[in-house]
Amino acid sequence: MSYFSSLWRNEQSRGILIQIFVLVAFFACFSWLISNVISNFATLNKGFGFDFLMLPAGYDINQTLIEYTNRSTHLRAAIVGLLNTFLVAGVGIVLATVLGFVLGVARLSRNWLISKLAYVYIEFTRNVPVLLHILLWHGIIVNTMPHPKKALTVGEVLFLTNRGLYVPKPIAETGIWLVWLGVVAALFFSVGFARYARARQRQSGMQLPVFRVNLAIWILLPLLAFFAAGQPISLSFPALKGFNFRGGIQLPPEFVALTFALSIYTAAFIGEIVRAGIIAVDKGQREAAEAIGLRPNQVMNEVILPQARRIIIPPLTSQYLNLTKNSSLAIAIGYMDIVATLGGITLNQTGREMEAMLMVMGIYLIISLIISAFMNWYNSRVRLVGR
Amino acid sequence: MKKTSWMVAGLASIALAGTAGAATLDDVRAKGELTCIVNTGLAGFAAPNDQGVWSGFDIDYCRAVAAAVLGDAGAVGFVPSTTAERFTKLRAGEGEILSRNTTWTFSRDVDLQQTFVGVNYYDGQGFMVPASLGVSSATELDGASVCIQTGTTTELNLAEYFSLNNISYEPVPIATNAEAQANYLAGRCDVYTTDASGLAATKAAFDNPNDHVVLPEVISKEPLGPVVRHGDDQWADIASWTLKAMMVAEELGITSQNADEMKGSENPEIRRLLGVEELQGVTTLGLSPDWAYNIITQVGNYGESFERHLGKSTKLGLSRGINALAKDGGLHYIPPVK
């Protein structure tokens, strides 16, 4: 006893003791939970396993990025759902980032109207729950857009209806490899030219029109390859046939509403993050840049943003994670993401709640960790290098 | 990863806790109330009425069980549930009975460890379209967008029926009947498909019901009935015989109005059902002799419940059809009360 109390009185050993107690309590708690699950599964006479993933799913999905029929397995249905999640998260992140940067810069604009408009947008958007944004956009599209028979059209190529937006679909034909070669060549040359331009600027201070030249490379090379290969891409145009449009690519209202809502909502947060990052850059930097005669957009692009980026990236990462996780609200409007397929219909048809939910949670965890890892890598690349 | 799965396990075990053990009947008696998992709202079957009291065909069954077990048809709590959550809720112990237009299938009965205690409505899946489309048969629906409630047998039937008939379609999955209605009326889909009774109920709630037609095809068998958890035979028997008692009462001509005078009847089956003569086994079942009398006087017989919520005088206007008793040419054939 006295030995114990002397351990307890010593600050260092007390710290270790407390940690051991907490750890033991922690594990006791979890083992109790697990044994409870096991005993409840036993009483319900339920097994635990993932065999159900190999059974035919039996249901159809309206948006599939890979081949899928109702005879495909539950696993394939889950992958279809996962790809739909990736699609909405990917497009959402790009849109939200672009819009967010514009908002952040606009918010700091010296133009009163632009700055106030950005302010009103941000306050109105981020103070309304994202689920309402999603329902609102879906409601707007479904209720105000015309029926396919009275579709709005842009030159009989784009069609806008309450069943979604229809655009022509490119179809690859033989010889497409030459076009891909053109794209790869464009990538190669544009990166090379940018490097050359930077090296030259460093040496002589002379600037080359990098953007314009690279734009030309990106347009000309693939276009040249396209004609050299005898135009190996044809377009399938959407056309009204029966109840709906056939052909082309359909962007269903659920996808459009979800992407819009998520990016518009998240952009408001990103705007504030960008603003904070810009303000955090010492104002002497701006003054110095102006003093050496840089133009306002050069000041922003060459001096302010590269420094603000270091401050922006960590909170930006968590916004990307939020957007990805918020995409699970898709189920509210029937967008078939991973939650609606694996965590919804599959779960309900097979009754494997535990397995399905564990998988869905595991998948979101992995996606989030991948995004975090990428953003951490990028952050370490742009951070201030101590010299 | 490991920590997360423990967390899930923990959450799930909390949700599952309390399902095991004691007899369901004792639990209900101890609570003094039956808890019934029902539809989130389907006119005629389960919906709160203008006073906010749950009413409907499926609700009547819950009240009948409460009358049999507790002697009070009012002692019922209702847990509204979407189609996708209902089985999870039942198995997690959120209610003792699931009375929610649930189709009896092999895998739901066997694989999901549940017991279907009978069929209270013989249904089949149908299609509803706006009359303006000029469609007269489901085979003309090639290329249509179809609104469908997810997590239902209708989803599987639709996929099977359309692929057998080589009809392409765009499924538009929807969580509840109310949302399906909104999307259908907004023109997001050309067709709404669900059980024929559900279509009648949905259509009845429209502003202009006559602008919509139900197509003649019925593409599936949908025997709907109440469900209980596996493993408590006594409770399953109570649930099963409550439904049968309502049907037998109709067969014998006992109604909520004449039940008292019927007690004086000479017919031994009537006397046994109403508890005038001993019905062997009632006490083993844990019920009082007047269990069926309570059901009939407080809720009514099967036919009364049907006419009150679904029949010709209601907005749904469904005829008995195959839901008549066997003696009237329907499918409800009930074992004798002996």
Same domain, B110 and B161: no
Instruction: Give the pLDDT confidence score for residue B1 in this predicted structure.
Output: 35
In angstroms, the separation between the Cα of residue A163 and the nearest Cα of chain B is 6
* Cα gap A217→A215, rounded to integer Å: 5
Do the domain assignments include residue A50? no
Instruction: Give the pLDDT confidence score for residue A381 in this predicted structure.
Output: 83
Note whether A100 and A273 are within 8 A (CB). Answer: yes
In angstroms, the separation between the Cα of residue B209 and the nearest Cα of chain A is 20
Same domain, B229 and B115: yes
Q: Where are the alpha helices (DSSP H) in chain B?
A: 2-16, 24-31, 57-70, 86-91, 106-110, 153-164, 177-185, 196-204, 233-251, 259-262, 268-273, 291-298, 302-309
Q: Quick check: A164 pLDDT over 70?
A: yes
Same domain, A284 and A368: yes
Do the domain assignments include residue A372? yes
Do the domain assignments include residue B2? no
Instruction: Give the pLDDT confidence score for residue A2 in this predicted structure.
Output: 67
pLDDT digits (tens, 9 = 90+) for B322-333: 899 999 999 999
**Which of A331, A40, A354, A328 lies closest to B88 in space, CA to CA?**
A354
- pLDDT category, A386, cuts 50, 70, 90? low
Do the domain assignments include residue A177? yes
Same domain, A212 and A125: no
Range of the domain at B278: 19-122+224-328
Domain limit, last residue, from B220, B235, B263: B220
Domain limit, last residue, from B181, B203, B220: B220
Same domain, A118 and A193: no
- pLDDT category, A387, cuts 50, 70, 90? low
Same domain, A130 and A192: no
Instruction: Give the pLDDT confidence score for residue A230 in this predicted structure.
Output: 78
Same domain, A309 and A258: yes
Same domain, A160 and A296: yes
Token digits of residue B33: 């109330």
* Cα gap A326→A323, rounded to integer Å: 5
Instruction: Give the pLDDT confidence score for residue A241 in this predicted structure.
Output: 80
Number of H helices, E strands in chain A: 14, 8
Do the domain assignments include residue A321? yes
Cα dihedral A165→A171→A177→A179 (10° resolution): -50
In angstroms, the separation between the Cα of residue A94 and the nearest Cα of chain B is 27
ipTM above 0.85, yes or no: no
Is A244 in CB contact (< 8 Å) with chain B? yes
Residues of A in contact with B107 (CB under 8 A): 349, 351
E-strand ranges in B105-195 read: 114-116, 121-123, 125-130, 144-149, 169-174, 191-195
Same domain, A164 and A175: no
Phi, psi of B259 (to 5 degrees): -55, -40
| Residue type (1 letter), B226 | P
Domain limit, last residue, from B185, B220, B255: B220
Q: Where are the alpha helices (DSSP H) in B98-164?
A: 106-110, 153-164
* Cα gap A316→A176, rounded to integer Å: 38
Q: Quick check: A336 pLDDT over 60?
A: yes
Range of the domain at A285: 74-168+247-382
Same domain, B235 and B323: yes
Which residues does chain B have with pLDDT short of 70? 1-22
Complete edge-to-edge strand list for the sheet that includes strand B114-116: B76-81, B34-39, B97-98, B227-229, B114-116
DSSP collapsed to 3 states, A84-97: HHHHHHHHHHHHHH
> Rounded mean pLDDT of A160-184?
84
Which residue of chain B comes nearest to A242, CA vs CA?
B143
Do the domain assignments include residue A44? no
Do the domain assignments include residue A298? yes
Same domain, B234 and B116: yes
**Which of A211, A257, A259 lies closest to A94 in space, CA to CA?**
A259
Do the domain assignments include residue B6? no
* Cα gap B147→B155, rounded to integer Å: 10
Token digits of residue B40: 């989130």
pLDDT digits (tens, 9 = 90+) for A87-108: 999 999 999 999 999 999 899 8
| Distance from chain centroid for Cα B282 | 25
Same domain, A263 and A350: yes
CATH number of the domain that A155 lies in?
Answer: 1.10.3720.10
Minimum mean pLDDT range among A57-71, A234-248, B295-309, B324-338? A234-248
Same domain, B101 and B153: no
Residues 6+ apart with CB under 8 A from B137: B215, B216, B217
Is A33 in CB contact (< 8 Å) with chain B? yes
The percent of residues in chain A predicted with pLDDT above 90, rounded, is 39
Is A69 in CB contact (< 8 Å) with chain B? yes
Q: What's the domain count of chain B? A: 2
- pLDDT category, A242, cuts 50, 70, 90? confident
Q: What's the domain count of chain A? A: 2
**Which of B201, B202, B125, B188 lies closest to B159 in space, CA to CA?**
B125
Same domain, B28 and B94: yes
Contact state of A43 with B5 under an 8 Å Cβ cutoff: no
Same domain, A288 and A377: yes
Query: Strand A244-246 and strand A152-154: pairing?
Result: unpaired
Please tell me which of the candidates A44, A59, A253 has its beta carbon nearest to residue B155.
A59
Same domain, B116 and B139: no
Do the domain assignments include residue A21? no
Same domain, A185 and A291: no
